[in-house]
Amino acid sequence: MEYSSQLEAKSSELSRTARKLQEANEKLTQISLQKDAFLSQVSHELRTPMTSIRAFSEILRDTDGLLPEDKTHYATIIHDEALRLTRLLDDLLDLSVLESGQVSLNLRDGRLDAVLDRALDSALAGSTRKLLVKRQKSTERIALRSDLDRLGQVFINLIANAQKYCDARHPILTISVHDVGGQVVVDFIDNGSGIPAEAQSMVFEKFARVSSEKAGGAGLGLAICREIMQRLGGNVTYLAGQGGAGFRVSLATNQEMAAE
């Protein structure tokens, strides 16, 4: 009797182990599929600018008697595509460092209004597109202890997106700061056409693009924002029902703790 109950215990232990092995195996298969999908997306993103660079450099090399203005035009395309490649590689590298958790934070004391000022300057400087930014500066005077450069990077991405996707004729971005349940949140709401409900949950994924005609970047900006905010102990979410697109950045309630 004792022997048979021992056997039963052993057999259920074996089934548990077999189940765990099967689960681990399924997880490995899933990781491998994700890696394949990621690699194929990266190759696709790299191929497009590489193809232009190759084609236009061949024209420059092989065509006799090109007009100077055509030469300049082709060289500009090559230059812009090379810049796009560099940005893509920088973003991929940044994302992989953030995802690996190996990123070291540089905590400093600062103020939210100053971080927003700098982010607006760097997102809008040198841009030919106009953007009317509405702010209520008195609500932004909040002391922070955080990685201010990383937080600024999140703001820059959201401002640059608002500029890209807002109403082209009357481009407006409203930035507002609120206290939501004791947590400071910064809302970025533009007056573009927003993101359709069915796509709102996927825009933070890598290479997410809602509409191909509007595609400007590779779709890594929001994925980077999400990773940074997780590292800073806060988060970034989509705010539905705002008319245009709305993004909410929730700062960590305790920035010092978030960095540990």
Interaction pattern, residues 171-210, with ligand ADP; x per rule: CB under 6 A: -------------------x-x-xx-------x----xxx
| Residue type present at position 63 | T
Structure tokens at 259: 């960095």
Using only C-alpha atoms, the chain has a radius of gyration, in whole angstroms, of 24
Neighbouring CB atoms inside 10 A of 235's CB total 17
Comparing CB distances to ligand ADP, the nearer of 110 and 187 is 187
The DSSP result for 181-200, as a single string, is TTEEEEEEEESS----GGGT
Report d(CA 24, CA 26) in Å as an integer: 5
Report d(CA 22, CA 256) in Å as an integer: 41
Interaction pattern, residues 230-259, with ligand ADP; x per rule: CB under 6 A: ---------------x--------------
| Residue type present at position 216 | G
In the bound complex, what is the minimum distance in angstroms from residue 240's beta carbon to ligand ADP?
12
**Segment lying near ligand ADP (by CB under 6 A), choices 41-49, 117-125, 140-148, 154-162:** 154-162
Sequence-distant (6+) residues with CB within 8 A of 94 are 224
**Segment lying near ligand ADP (by CB under 6 A), choices 56-64, 75-83, 130-138, 213-221:** 213-221
In the bound complex, what is the minimum distance in angstroms from residue 211's beta carbon to ligand ADP?
6
State yes or no: residue 227 binds ligand ADP (CB under 6 A).
no
State yes or no: residue 221 binds ligand ADP (CB under 6 A).
yes
The residues binding ligand ADP (CB under 6 A) are 157, 161-162, 165, 190, 192, 194-195, 203, 208-211, 214-223, 245
